[in-house]
Amino acid sequence: MNDQQWQQLNARLAGIELPPEPDWWPLTWSVAAIALSTLILVLVIRQKRKLSPQQTPAAEAAHRLQQLQHAWQTGELEARDAAYQLATLLRLGLGLRQLEPTPPPQLAHQAAEWHALLSALAQLRYQPQREATLSEQTFNQIREWLQC
């Protein structure tokens, strides 16, 4: 290309205008609105959690114990199945990894009752001949221990 052709080409290109830069305000406001909405939602959820009482494992177990006792009384649940669930409720409600012959520290003064209850639950759960029976006293004893 010679010099004259370059000048003609430049003359034709000189009339071209670049487009305006994009307007970022709508995107900025959208991101800000989403962030603000998310923040408000998080604050509302936290506030609800603070207002609603957090149930402890013992309180949840006590509530489930009441349901279990009702199911056992109405005959919806056999004694063996109730014994399995009672052992689980007792373990979870007291925060134990497993039920052991040694009572937890808060029940150390009731070691004899602890052993009697564990042996009764074990007989109901694991023995073909059930010498132990499930009674209202068993439910009451577990309820009392969950409140400790």
Q: Which residues, other chains included, contact 121 with Cβ-Cβ below 8 Å and sequence gap of 6+? A: 83, 86, 87, 132, 138
Residue 129, pLDDT above cutoff 80:
no
What is the reported pLDDT for 126? 86
What is the reported pLDDT for 118? 92
Show me where the domains of the chain are located: 26-55, 57-146
Closest CA to 83 of 123, 114, 53: 123
Write down the pTM of the prediction: 0.62
pLDDT band at 52 (very low <50, low <70, confident <90, very high): low
Q: Look at 14 and 28; give whichever has higher pLDDT.
A: 28
Instruction: Provide the 8-state DSSP code for 19.
Output: P
Residue 15, pLDDT above cutoff 70:
no
